[in-house]
Amino acid sequence: MRMRSILAVALLLAAAPALAEEKPIKLKPAAGLDKVEANCGACHSLDYIVMNSPFPTGSFWDTEVAKMINAFGAPIEASDAKVIVDYLKKSYGSP
């Protein structure tokens, strides 16, 4: 009986993260959002965009997208990279 109780507690603790309710991220609707979701969201959470949004200038997003392509090898076409940077600058850049 004691073993069953221990097992039940262990199962509940293991399942707790799966029970946590996380709200899906919603990025600002604008031209280029589809490219951001498809390219950026393929490798990491889109939460990073919102977490950084109060601080970056437009040049931050140029550097960040270039880093994803050049340092991390993100398979983003040059034409898509421009659209992504434009979206990020307009939607999440600061002057």
Query: How many independent structural domains does the chain possess?
Result: 1
Query: Does residue 15 lie within any of the structural domains?
Result: no
Chain position carrying tokens 């140029």: 62
Residue 2 falls inside a structural domain: no
Q: Is residue 11 part of a domain?
A: no
| Residue 87: both structure tokens together | 């979206």
Tokens at 51, concatenated: 């977490």
Q: How do residues 8-39 score in pLDDT, each as one tens digit?
A: 666 666 665 555 566 778 999 999 999 999 99
The CATH code of the domain that includes 54 is 1.10.760.10
Whether 82 is covered by a domain: the verdict is: yes
By residue range, what is the domain housing residue 67?
24-92
Q: How sure is the predictor about 51, in pLDDT bands with cuts at 50, 70 and 90?
A: confident
Is 12 among the domain residues?
Answer: no
Contact 65, 88 (CB under 8 A): yes
Flag whether 14 is in a domain.
no
